[in-house]
Amino acid sequence: MNRMRLLNKTRKIASFCPAADVTYCIDAVERTLFEYGGLDILVNSTAAIESASYSQGAAGDGAESRLLDSLSSPLFRTQSALFYLAGGASIINTIPVLREESLPRVADYLAARLSLTNFTRALAKKFVPKQIRVNGVGLGSLADEQAVEQECQRARPGEIAPSYLFLASRDSSQMTGQVLYPSNN
């Protein structure tokens, strides 16, 4: 039996669309509880953070809004799900990663990345007594069809998914506060 089939048979997974809206997060948790009867794995994704969406940092360019969305979404989802997570549960935060050459012009991205990494590590320490593991996956740009044709070094979703599966599985039971970086970015 392949690992994904085994994981689907033994655990419930809640994966939410990015939304910095407390009501949406509570509703998503309740829908998951109704559909699956429980919640063992929470996968937090951030608001879309792409290097192309960042300007040179001019006032009013939306940087504050992107930063707030990137930080509040995982926080709201975690708060909404926390009551339902028991020992052995796993929280996996998606942490944005950009190529080195993009970094000098994206201060808000750097703030979000550092904050999400520290959020992951702080939650991991906080939830050790509850035996809830908190880890992250550093996710860079994914390859689209054009990038694949150009033999770009971007990772394909199938190359990143095993990191999430590993962190969601019992195989990672001794890991907490860690961030895996499966991308070539």
Name which of 106, 88, 93 is nearest 178 in CA terms: 93
Q: How many CA atoms lie within 13 A of 158 on its CB side?
A: 2
Amino acid at 106: V
In a domain, 121, yes or no: yes
Amino acid at 176: T
Instruction: Give per-residue pLDDT as tens, 10-43.
Output: 445 555 555 567 888 888 888 888 888 888 999 9
Mean pLDDT, the chain, integer: 75
In a domain, 185, yes or no: no
Instruction: Give per-residue pLDDT as tens, 122-154.
Output: 999 999 999 999 999 988 665 444 444 445 566
Phi, psi (deg, nearest 5) at residue 71: -90, -35
Domain that holds residue 9: 3-180
Name which of 69, 68, 78 is nearest 28 in CA terms: 78
Total structural domains within the chain: 1
Compute the average pLDDT of residues 73-82: 88
In a domain, 146, yes or no: yes
Residues 106 and 51: beta-carbon distance below 8 Å: yes
Burial of 125 (0-12, 13-18, 19+ CB in 10 A): exposed
Does pTM top 0.75 for this prediction?
yes
Output the domain CATH number for residue 78: 3.40.50.720
In a domain, 171, yes or no: yes
Identify the pLDDT of residue 102. 54
Please give the Cα distance from 18 to 26 (Å, whole number). 13
In a domain, 66, yes or no: yes
Please give the Cα distance from 63 to 82 (Å, whole number). 29
CA terminus-to-terminus distance, the chain? 32
What length is written for the chain?
185
